[in-house]
Amino acid sequence: MEKIKNYIDQNKDRFIAELMEMLRIPSVSADSKYKADVLRTAEFVKKSLEAAGADKVELCHTSGHPIVYGEKIIDPALPTVIVYGHYDVQPPDPMELWDSPPFEPVIKDEKIYARGACDDKGQVFMHIKAFELMMKTNSLSCNVRFMIEGEEEVGSTNLGKWIHENKARLKGDVILISDTSIIANDIPSIDVGLRGLSYVEVEVTGPNRDLHSGVYGGAVANPITVLCEMIAKMKDENNHITIPGFYDDVLTLTQGERDELNKAPFSLDEYKKDLAVADVLGEKGYTTLERTGIRPTFELNGIWGGYIGEGAKTVLPGKAYAKISMRLVPNQGSDKITKLFADYFTSIAPSSVKVKVTPHHGGEPVVTPTDSIAFKAASNAMETTFGKKPIPTRGGGSIPIVALFEKELGLKSVLMGFGLDSDLIHSPNEHYGIFNFLKGIETIPLFFSNYAEMNSK
């Protein structure tokens, strides 16, 4: 413990400077104009792993962005931890809302501001630095394999394929991931669930061209209006999703399990204040923690059509579009939900329009165990470094590859994240607390030592 603290104290300025270097490379996976930068970031990760002492570090090329693999096998008899994370980031838009440029990291109030600072470059870098620490202080107690990908923010399709093809070399005992949040810096927690995802884009076509809204208006279907009406039909007055069959596979929790989940510290007043909303809105009969943790959703991510430029243009547009995400919970399946949505959406379209549904990426929901050695190793590690036992929580976000780790490799994951929900991931002014970054570097080596020790018993 002393050894860990000393090493961090002596090296923390360098750790932060190196992370800032990584944050300067705009690794936006969704936008092909950043392809070369995404590759540069993969090379940065490779160099960092090599410098920290990893062996067999390589860029594994895919039809998309590369996966960075590296390992340190110290003794085949020891357990092997597979560290997963992602070096790609979300697009920085809208640019004008950033207080400082997204790829020019700055430190303000003990926080590093940049796209990817928390999600997930900052958290990946904690693992690389914790590994460096264990190597330099001769305290690595498990074998480790790193698998850092560049396509998490676009659905991890190529990593899924790569895992399938590389099963043999991915022998391990557990997956360790830092890509989630804790409740607060003085309330540690560990996510034990992630939601799945069905993401679709819809196109509603009315007339074969844009029309004069006076000459034709009132006589021809306006696709924007029709799209809005169709979307309005997707939920009832209780904010219950109306897609037939949507809830069929939803695992209902017992009242006891729900009570347990609602015991997590949460203030609805502060939540509302933070978001500047007078009230929350969600499915009737569920608390906010339940709405984000154990219930599926239907959300619009974007909707457009017609004229949105300056001033007024009288137009009856030919087409309208929307991007829709549905978050899923056990035991819903993303392919099935996508199909149920597409069937329903098509069935409620009036004959005055044509609709097209295009599925994007998906991902399956997961629940991770709390009675495993790995969970206990993480829980004890956090208890040591935070001075408080972490609370198991259900995260609302998705990490699609986690379900595939289970399916392809038969391995469970531990979601030992260190971010805060207020870190503005995916939003302008994303940041990561230096406290959180260093706390991660301090906690990870304890996970390794706890895990090795508990496995040997």
Q: Which residues does the annotation mark as catalytic? A: 88, 152
Piece in contact with ligand BES (CB under 6 A), picked from 107-115, 179-187, 383-391, 405-413 = 179-187
> What CA–CA distance (Å, rounded) separates 457 from 455?
5
- Whole-number minimum distance, CB 28 to ligand BES, in Å? 13
User: What is the footprint of Mn ion within residues 330-359 (CB under 5 A)?
Assistant: none
* Cα separations in angstroms, 402 against 67, 68, 265, 413: 16, 17, 26, 7
CB 111 within 8 A of CB 431: yes
- Whole-number minimum distance, CB 217 to ligand BES, in Å? 38
Piece in contact with ligand BES (CB under 6 A), picked from 54-62, 68-76, 158-166, 176-184 = 176-184
Question: Tokens 């990870």 belong to which residue?
Answer: 444
- Pick one of 400, 433, 440, 445: the residue that binds ligand BES (CB under 6 A): 400
Strand residue runs (E) in 174-331: 174-177, 181-182, 189-191, 193-194, 196-205, 211-212, 299-305, 315-316, 319-328
User: What is the footprint of ligand BES within residues 355-374 (CB under 6 A)?
Assistant: 361, 363
With binding defined as CB under 6 A, does residue 398 bind ligand BES?
yes
DSSP of 4-49: HHHHHHHHHHHHHHHHHHHHTS--BTT-GGGHHHHHHHHHHHHHHH
Measuring CA to CA, which residue among 219, 103, 195 is closest to residue 395?
195
With binding defined as CB under 5 A, does residue 119 bind Mn ion?
yes
430 makes contact, choosing from Mn ion, ligand BES, none, with CB < 5 to 8 Å by partner type, with: none
With binding defined as CB under 6 A, does residue 423 bind ligand BES?
no
* Cα separations in angstroms, 25 against 99, 192, 316: 18, 32, 43
- Pick one of 179, 191, 423, 442: the residue that binds Mn ion (CB under 5 A): 179
Q: Look up residue 408 and give its DSSP letter.
A: I
Measuring CA to CA, which residue among 152, 113, 82, 163 is closest to residue 413?
82
Helix axes 434-456 and 121-136, enclosed angle (nearest 10): 50
With binding defined as CB under 6 A, does residue 126 bind ligand BES?
no
Q: Where are the alpha helices (DSSP H) in 280-360?
A: 288-293, 334-347
Helix axes 2-23 and 35-52, enclosed angle (nearest 10): 160
With binding defined as CB under 5 A, does residue 149 bind Mn ion?
no
Q: How many residues bind ligand BES (CB under 6 A)?
A: 18
> Nearer to ligand BES by C-beta: 132 or 179?
179
With binding defined as CB under 6 A, does residue 293 bind ligand BES?
no
- Whole-number minimum distance, CB 123 to Mn ion, in Å? 8
Q: Amino acid identity of 116?
A: G
Strand residue runs (E) in 132-236: 143-149, 174-177, 181-182, 189-191, 193-194, 196-205, 211-212
- Whole-number minimum distance, CB 341 to ligand BES, in Å? 17
- Pick one of 18, 132, 151, 152: the residue that binds ligand BES (CB under 6 A): 152
With binding defined as CB under 6 A, does residue 424 bind ligand BES?
no
- Pick one of 18, 71, 88, 120: the residue that binds Mn ion (CB under 5 A): 120
Question: Tokens 């997590």 belong to which residue?
Answer: 264
Measuring CA to CA, which residue among 138, 99, 85, 100 is closest to residue 20?
100
- Pick one of 57, 197, 342, 353: the residue that binds ligand BES (CB under 6 A): 197
Q: Please enumerate in sequence order all residues whose Cβ is within 8 A of that of 276, keeping only pairs 6 or more positions apart, or say none.
A: none
- Whole-number minimum distance, CB 336 to ligand BES, in Å? 17
197 makes contact, choosing from Mn ion, ligand BES, none, with CB < 5 to 8 Å by partner type, with: ligand BES
Piece in contact with Mn ion (CB under 5 A), picked from 8-16, 138-146, 179-187, 412-420 = 179-187
Piece in contact with ligand BES (CB under 6 A), picked from 93-101, 148-156, 309-317, 346-354 = 148-156
Binding stretches for Mn ion (CB under 5 A): 119-120, 179
Binding stretches for ligand BES (CB under 6 A): 119-120, 152-153, 155, 179-181, 191, 194, 197, 361, 363, 395, 397-400
